[in-house]
Every structure is written in C-alpha cells, then in structure tokens.
Structure 1
Amino acid sequence: MAGKLIVLNKDEDNLSVVNLRSSKVEQTVATSHNPHEVVVSHDGQKTYIACSLGNTVDIMDNKTFEITGHISHEEFHFPHGVGITNDGKTLYLASTFSEKIFLIDTSTDEIRKIIPTYQTYSHMISFSPDGKTAYIPNIGSDNITVIDTETEEIVNHFPVGKGPEGVAVHPSGEDIYVANQDDDTLWIMDTTDYEVNYKRRVGHTPVRLVFSPDGQYAFIANRESDDVSIIQTEQRINGQIRPWEIKRLPVGKWAGGIVFQPDGTHAYVANNKTNDISVISLATLKETERIDVGIHPDGIAYLP
C-alpha cells in the first residue's frame, strides 16, 4: 500500500498523517477546534479541514503539513461536509446549523457565494460522477437538496428516509444511494426521477456511504452497531441482478469516515471510539489490520 491518510481526531483538535507503507502515524498536526470533515484538492497541494465547533475551515499545505490559512464567516455554524467540484475550482461547504452552502474559490480561498437550503441540518456534500450536480442531505428535513453546479442554483429537494446522512451516486451516474441513520435503511433511487427502486435494512445508525472506485461495492459505516454494511451493487442470483448486502463486517467502535485507495485494493474506516483505523482488503472483504491514531477519529481522506 502506498500513499498517506489524513485522519481528523475530533476530540484532540489535531489530525494524523498516516504512512500506509509503515501503517504508522508519521506526523500529528494541530488544527482548530473539533475537526470533522476533510477533502484534498485535486492537485494534491492543499487539504481543507472543516472544524465544526471552531466554526472555521483550516487550510493545510500538503508539502509541509502546516496549517497555512483559515476560512471563516459569521454564518459558519457547525461547518461540516466538504467537497470539491470536478474542475477543482470550487469548494462546497455545508454549514449544518445555518443551513447554508458556502462556495469557496480554491485559487483564492475566499467565499464567493452563499446558497441557503431552507432545510433543517444541511450536513454533507456529494457530487455526481460528471460533477454537474451536488447533493446535500438534510438530516432534520428527511430530504436531499439538489444543486446544479453549472448555474449554482437549487433545482430540487426530494424526500428520503429519516435522518439522511450518507449519500453517494454510483459511478455509472444512474443511481443515488442514501443511508438514513434514524431508520437504519438504505434507499436506492433513480437519479432521473428520484423514484425509490430498492430499500434495504442495514446496520444501526448508518452515517457514511462510499462506493468502491469500480462501483462494485458500496460501503456503509454503521455507527452504533460498530460495523460496515458491504453492498454488492449488482449481485447476481437466480437470474436476478440486484443490490444486496452481502456482508456486515465488524470493525472498531463507532464506525465513521470511510475512504478507498484509488486503485480499489483497500478501504479505510475511522473508528471513533477505539481511536483507530480499520484496513479492509477488497480481495477478501476482511479487516486485515488496525492503525492507531488520535482521539475520536472521523473525517478521513487519501493523499497520494
């Protein structure tokens, strides 16, 4: 395994830089208060860290692993979900309690537009594979806000289950998967009309959902059952093709952030309450090791 992990330690106000060759923390970097979610710029030069209780976004230089700047605004109230548009020019930030989406120019690191969702607890950011659409789960409104990234306007809100948090679009672009934490379900919906094609029961309190690079699997972190639901997106059985949970893999306590290695060989799960990272082999769908990090790790990103 090559590359590094950036792991946010929420209750220690720092992040761990994990060397995946040695499976060791090679550096610890102090952050603003309560770092939650993280994204690496497409050119690999910068990391953006949403510090939810510090009401700021820290900017880290990936060459020196130093915090070089901060983005703040009077309406940052629990800044949380982050994502970068396909062209790399805009950082989308979801501010949970102000229920607004902030658009930040990645060349200047300045806020250039604010989009109110008028929904309750807008929490995460997820983009369609073609980058033309952003999806924002609203935990308190039980729906998803849809933003056209070309016009930068809200074009829809569609209903889902209770307490949606984990959201991702399949690499094919045809289906959106929504993990509803308050009713322990996965909804699989058509991206053209948002009709529900399948509903699946998963573990307790599903909070994160990520597809493997090839789209074969969706991994769902179930916080309160301490496991990961592994969904095979096209299970073939008895002449049928369907999405199906083929395994519920025990990991550490309070599974949270998930990221895949770009080559699809491994996935990494941040375990909030055992203060470690589970390494999962995609070849065997088994946990192969644990990597110790800081206190209450959650947000996680891969750095080549």
Structure 2
Amino acid sequence: MSNHLIVLNKDEDTLSIVDMESKKVVQTVETSHNPHEIVVSKDAKKTYIACSLGNKLDVMDNDSFQIIKTIEHVDFKFPHGVELTNDGKKLYLASTFTSKIFLIDTETDEIENVFPTHQKHSHMISFSPDGKTVYVPNIGSDNVTEIDVESESVVNHFPVGKGPEGLAVHPNGKHIYVANQDEDTLFVIDRENYEVLFKRKIGACPVRLVFSPDGKYALTANRYSADISVILTEQKINGQVRPWEIKRIPVGIWAGGIVFRPDGKFAYVANNKTNDISIIDMETLKETERIEVGIHPDGIAYLSK
C-alpha cells in the first residue's frame, strides 16, 4: 500500500503529490484555475477538486495522477466545499456565490441535481456520521443550512456566530462544532434542538475544523494567528465534562486545510503563505516537521491505495 498527501496549490494552478514515506513531492499536476477544496472517492480511485476562481470541478485519476475530466455548469460561481455521501455514490458541492448545492453522480461524473439554499455565500459541505444529513455553513448569513440526504432537500436553517466556515459533526453524532471566522469563536451545538451548549474563544480567523478519527480532539486552523487550536472534546475537570481548548500549536502563516492520517496519529496542516505542510504529532501535540509544496497550499487530502 502507498500513502500520499494530495495538496492543492491555489496560486499556481497545480496540486502536489507528496509521498508519505519520503515526505517529498513526487509529482506536480496542472489543474484548472485556483484549486481550492478536495475529496478522494471512497474507493480511492478518483479525486475531486473544486477550482473556485476557474468555476470548474476537476476529476483526477489516482493511478495516473492525471486530470481525466472537468465538470462545468453555468451556476458554478466559486465552487468550494465538496464531500461524498457515505456510500460514495454522490458528491455534494457548494457554489459560494450562487448559494446552490450540486449533486454529482460519481459513476458518470455528471451533475444530476441542483437546488438553492436561499442563504448568502453557502461555502462548505459536512455530513453527519450516519450520512443522513448535510450541514452547509453560510458565511454571509451567519447560519447553517441543514439538508436531508434522502429527499435531497433543505429542511432547516439555524443561526450560529459571525462568518461560519469550518464545521464538522462529532463522530458521536450528537454535537455540531462550528468555527466562526469573523468573531474567532467555536460553537458547540446540540444536534437535536440546535441549542448552543458552549461558546469558546479560539485563535484568530478559524477557517477549518476537523475531528480526530476517535473524536477525542477537534482542530481548527486559525488563519491570522498562524496556529492550530486543539480542542479536547471531553475535558474532565472539577466534576465537569466540557469541550476545552487545551493548546495552540504554532504552524506556518495562514493555516488552512487540515487532514488526519486515518489512524489519527498525525494531522497535516496546509500553510497558505509559507508554502508548506505542517506535520502535527497528535501524541505530543507538537509540530514535528514541514514539507515544502507549491504556492498557497490549501485544500488537502490523504490518499491510501
């Protein structure tokens, strides 16, 4: 089995293939303009790349590491967040400036459904662990759209903080974590009643949020403070159990995309303005080294095949 990081270099219209044994870039692939967000298919055969300023979705073959198809649509206006259904049969894509959601058949790579959120600047896609619900943070509306996967329809919107972008559902399925970039906060929300259970100040301009595979930690990439907030999701102290920021790990300038190794032992952070990837040891909670990539790396994915 081989293991690679796929890193999108926004400001040079390429992606870097990083071999995780040597920790070196082994191949650079040209993409459409401004590759931004990325997801690997469930069978690891393809990678989908949202090219935001190019208004395109590139499809890469993971054997040849070549772009094999480019998907376009008149309503692709800064296509951004991408994620797959649990069965891998459909790709959800959020187009920021049209605030529309696109559903793409991953067998044919054709768009099969489009619908609006009716909110402003719908930006990211995040599934619940059971795959039944999609959450879309709307940066311009300060809220989150809820989509029912079975009916492929919007069922709810609920308010959060200012400028929500990073969002993920805890692996236990009970809590939604939202990073609000315009007020430097983390909201922890009850999925059943949408009650905000906790509000936490974190680093400056948190733009991404991911959970470790076991749900022990949430990490946020804090763009303007050049660090990663480490949230212990169940800190036990003084008879209480609560989510708590236990550390900020300095990384490169403009921290962006984050991904975990599947076993959760390491996390990888794309540093937009130092053009490198920080490797975070999740046992010591320290940066161990950097990998040099292209110009303005952001979207990042881990590929095992």
TM-score between both structures, scaled by the size of structure 1? 0.99
Map of 1:258 onto structure 2? 258
- Secondary structure of 1:224's counterpart equals coil
Q: Matched residues in 2 for 1:293 and 1:184: separation?
A: 28
**What is the number of residues matched between the two proteins?**
304
What does residue range 164-179 of structure 1 map to in structure 2 within 5 Å? 164-179=164-179
Q: Matched residues in 2 for 1:87 and 1:45: separation?
A: 14
Q: Matched residues in 1 for 2:278 and 2:117: separation?
A: 35
- Secondary structure of 1:228's counterpart equals strand
Q: Matched residues in 1 for 2:200 and 2:178: separation?
A: 10
The CA deviation at 1:63 is: 0.2
Question: Tell me, which stretches of 5 or more residues in structure 1 are unaligned?
Answer: none
Q: Matched residues in 2 for 1:281 and 1:36: separation?
A: 25
Q: Matched residues in 1 for 2:12 and 2:112: separation?
A: 31
| 1:14 aligned partner, one-letter code | T
| 1:89 aligned partner, one-letter code | K
What does residue range 9-28 of structure 1 map to in structure 2 within 5 Å? 9-28=9-28
Q: Matched residues in 1 for 2:153 and 2:87: separation?
A: 18
Map of 1:297 onto structure 2? 297
- Secondary structure of 1:203's counterpart equals coil
| 1:243 aligned partner, one-letter code | P
The CA deviation at 1:2 is: 6.2
Q: Matched residues in 2 for 1:89 and 1:2: separation?
A: 24
| Correspondence 1:48 to 2:65 | no
- Secondary structure of 1:225's counterpart equals coil
| Correspondence 1:287 to 2:297 | no
Q: Matched residues in 1 for 2:109 and 2:158: separation?
A: 31
Indicate the RMSD between aligned Cα atoms, in angstroms: 0.8
| Correspondence 1:38 to 2:38 | yes
Question: Tell me, which stretches of 5 or more residues in structure 2 are unaligned?
Answer: none
The CA deviation at 1:202 is: 0.3
| 1:153 aligned partner, one-letter code | S
- Secondary structure of 1:11's counterpart equals helix
Q: Matched residues in 2 for 1:18 and 1:8: separation?
A: 11
The CA deviation at 1:239 is: 1.4
What does residue range 192-231 of structure 1 map to in structure 2 within 5 Å? 192-231=192-231
Q: Matched residues in 1 for 2:262 and 2:31: separation?
A: 26
Q: Matched residues in 1 for 2:117 and 2:176: separation?
A: 20
User: Given the superposition, is the C-alpha separation of residues 71 and 277 from structure 1 closer, same or farther in structure 2, using an over 3 Å criterion?
Assistant: same
1:200-219 per-position Cα deviation (integer Å, ceiling 9, x unaligned): 00000000000000000000
Map of 2:247 onto structure 1? 247
Q: Which moved more, 1:114-123 or 1:1-10?
A: 1-10
| Correspondence 1:70 to 2:59 | no
The CA deviation at 1:29 is: 0.2
Identity of aligned residues (%): 71
